[in-house]
């Protein structure tokens, strides 16, 4: 029960397959009280997913690009909870013309939209919640390793690089208040959002070939547990970190078996 007594805001739950859903479910098992956010047409999907959690959490309106929604979120949480102990930022979006090998033809407005929704929004959410957070609070964001260029990921990859930088600056500015900011760089998982990326299966195949621990795109539990760890007091001295939960993929320079290799001796 490493999150016993904590009040956590979880963004990014769309369906029960969402990474954020599994993080929310695990957080409840670890003793946390949670609330979810959603907005617009997606909200009904979030509310259906919320029904599968126990206890069923409240779903609050939040378009993270809306200053009005952010202000209302602060007011609502101050009135209902009085404080927030942690939050998961699981928000990202890039238009179709910013993905799938269209890097050189992506219009500026699509690149800007990917940046605002996927990276600047971490600062926006932190700004809304920081007044309700005290020393020991934690903000965790979902990342996809942005130290290299990936096939098909294009401007979302650029946005994730920005997210990584934003997290470091937030760690700098919120650290004096005792608020930690970290990211979890997860391997590819078969969420609705991920499968909407053209060529997602190509990325999944890279992990199957190269992760020394192996990688199951259908198992979000290792990522969910790591998120809970970073939200807990066990991570009290960790901030500005990017924690890879990818089966060790990021540490390996080439596939463990190259085409034409003989089977390893036993």
256 in Cβ contact with 209 (< 8 Å): yes
190 in Cβ contact with 218 (< 8 Å): yes
- What is the side-by-side order of every strand in the sheet holding 138-143? 59-61, 33-38, 7-10, 86-89, 138-143, 180-186, 242-245
Task: Output the six-digit token pair for 163.
Answer: 């997210």
The catalytic residue among 16, 29, 123, 160 is: 160
d(CA 34, CA 227): 14
The catalytic residue among 6, 29, 52, 153 is: 153
160 is catalytic: yes
Phi, psi dihedral angles at 48 (to 5 degrees): -65, -40
Among 82, 11, 5, smallest CA distance to 227 is for 11
Helix or strand (DSSP H, E) at 125 = helix 121-129
d(CA 113, CA 118): 8
Query: Please, which residues have CB within 8 angstroms of residue 224's CB and are 6 or more apart in sequence?
Result: 19, 22, 23, 25, 26
Burial class of residue 109 in the structure, from the number of CB atoms within 10 Å of its CB (0-12 exposed, 13-18 middle, 19+ buried)? exposed
d(CA 31, CA 2): 7
d(CA 196, CA 193): 5
DSSP type of residue 250: G
Helix or strand (DSSP H, E) at 68 = helix 67-80
Q: Annotated catalytic sites, by residue?
A: 153, 160
């Amino acid at each position: 029960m490493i999150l016993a007594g904590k009040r956590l805001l979880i963004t990014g739950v769309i369906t029960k397959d969402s990474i954020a859903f599994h993080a929310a479910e695990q957080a409840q098992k670890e003793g946390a009280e949670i609330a979810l956010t959603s907005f617009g047409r997606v909200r009904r999907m979030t509310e259906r997913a919320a029904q599968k959690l126990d206890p069923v959490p409240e779903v609050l309106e939040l378009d993270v690009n809306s200053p009005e929604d952010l202000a209302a979120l602060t007011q609502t949480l101050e009135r209902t909870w009085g404080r927030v102990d942690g939050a998961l930022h699981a928000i990202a979006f890039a238009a179709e013309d910013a993905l799938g090998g269209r890097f050189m033809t992506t219009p500026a407005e699509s690149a800007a939209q990917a940046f605002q929704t996927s990276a600047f929004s971490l600062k926006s959410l932190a700004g809304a919640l920081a007044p309700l957070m005290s020393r020991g609070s934690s903000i965790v964001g979902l990342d996809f390793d942005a130290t290299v260029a990936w096939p098909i990921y294009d401007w979302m990859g650029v946005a994730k690089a920005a997210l990584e930088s934003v997290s470091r600056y937030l760690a700098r500015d919120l650290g004096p208040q005792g608020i930690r900011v970290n990211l979890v760089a997860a391997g590819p998982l078969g969420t609705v959002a991920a499968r909407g990326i053209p060529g997602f299966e190509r990325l999944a195949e890279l992990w199957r070939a190269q992760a020394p621990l192996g990688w199951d795109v259908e198992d979000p539990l290792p990522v969910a547990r790591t998120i809970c760890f970073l939200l807990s007091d066990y991570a009290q001295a960790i901030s500005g970190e990017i924690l890879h939960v990818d089966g060790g993929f990021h540490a390996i320079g080439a596939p463990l078996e190259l085409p034409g290799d003989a089977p390893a001796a036993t």
